[in-house]
Amino acid sequence: MVAGAALDALVPDPRRGHPVALFGGAAQALERRMYADSKPRGAAYAAACVGSVVLAARTLERRSGTARFVAVAAGTWAVLGGRSLRHEAALVHELLARGDLDGARQRVTHLVSRDPAGLDADGVARAAVESVAENTCDAVVAPLFWGAVAGLPGLLGYRAVNTLDAMVGYRSARYANFGWAAARLDDLANAAPARLTALLTVLAARGTGADAGAAVRIARRDGRRHPSPNSGFSEAAFAGALGLRLGGRNSYAGRVDERPQLGDGRIPTVADLPRAARLSAAVTVAAAALAAVAARRR
């Protein structure tokens, strides 16, 4: 797992043929065959997708020696997204820093699903900071947590769950019933990692010049204010650590969503993107070390 985390930091994702993208394509093909406006059908779909990944991972993990090492390291690299997350944030920062607001609006869509058309520079910066905070859990801490708990099946199974939630877990007319099981499974899978992310953010803040005390206070006060049962903990911890105020009005395909504010600080600006990325990188290192220790004790 440590080797896989190091690979994620050093090796960029391929433009084509990424294992997660291949899984997504297979899941999309299965959806076309199984879709019905039904919770039981959606539950069967989620079970088929996640179950097949877990069974394949168990087969790979049963190998010994070098083959097992390669399988776990490659699996860890495939499911982690810390490098990609920080890279996208850096690209948004670069565009904003040189005054290319239209380019930054387009690029931030790689991180968030909200409509960027009406965002000013600070709005784009807020969207990117919020994504870095939330996805430090989804892209780093959660897969490492499940890898420590359940080995390669935990690593790959978590990524399958999280990918399905991104595909069918939205509260749209099409997926209100069919995607219900995938969304609830993702909530369950992220419950412990989200709170662990807040704790690791506090610890990482001490080594990055951020405010650990405020991270504790804001995570405890505002962590449950987010509409998601989990995302608020990492976002609130980042808001406190960086002295920012996250949340507010978001637009999604014409639908306006008023999010509760997290934190007492100022609105994020372009200069806060590198700070958020550094904090996320520090949380990644702490999560990898903790996962390795926990996995050895398993």
Q: What is the mean pLDDT of residues 221-241?
A: 95
* Mean pLDDT to the nearest integer, 202-219: 95
Tokens in use for 52? 């097949």
Predicted local distance difference test score (pLDDT) of residue 114: 87
Predicted pLDDT at 249:
81
Which band of pLDDT confidence, cut at 50, 70 and 90, is reported for residue 254?
low
Q: Which residues contact 195 (CB under 8 A, 6 or more apart)?
A: 223, 233
Q: Is 73 helix (H, G, I), strand (E, B) or coil?
A: helix
pLDDT of residue 82: 96
Q: Position of tokens 């105020």?
A: 245
β-strand pairing of 246-252 with 255-262: antiparallel
- Name, in order, each residue with C-beta under 8 angstroms of 94's C-beta and a sequence gap of 6 or more: none
Nearest to 164 by CA among 17, 13, 28: 28
Q: Look at residue 64 in the predicted model and tell me its pLDDT.
A: 85
Show the 3-state SS of 113-168.
CCCCCCCCHHHHHHHHHHHHHHHHHHHHHHHHHHHHHHHHHHHHHHHHHHHHHHHH
Instruction: Please tell me which residue, 258 or 139, carries the higher pLDDT value.
Output: 139
Write down the mean pLDDT value for the chain.
94
Whether the CB-CB separation of 79 and 146 falls below 8 Å is answered with no
The neighbour count for residue 272, using CB atoms within 10 Å, is 23
Residue 142 has pLDDT above 70, yes or no: yes
What is the domain count for the chain?
Answer: 1
- Give the mean model confidence (pLDDT) for residues 269-296: 95
Q: What is the pLDDT of residues 33-59, one digit of tens each?
A: 999 999 999 999 999 999 999 999 999
List the structure tokens of 19: 């294992």
pTM of the model: 0.94
Structure-model confidence comparison of residues 27 and 172, the more confident one? 27
Arithmetic mean of pLDDT, 158-165? 97
Residue 256: predicted pLDDT:
74
Domain boundaries, position 193: 2-297
Find the length of the chain.
298
Whole-number Å distance between alpha carbons of 79 and 138:
10
Q: How many Cβ atoms from other residues are within 10 Å of residue 133's Cβ?
A: 30
* Nearest partner of 250 among 260, 242, 241, judged by Cα: 260
Report residue 253's pLDDT band, with 50, 70 and 90 as the boundaries: low
What token pair was written down for 132?
């870095």
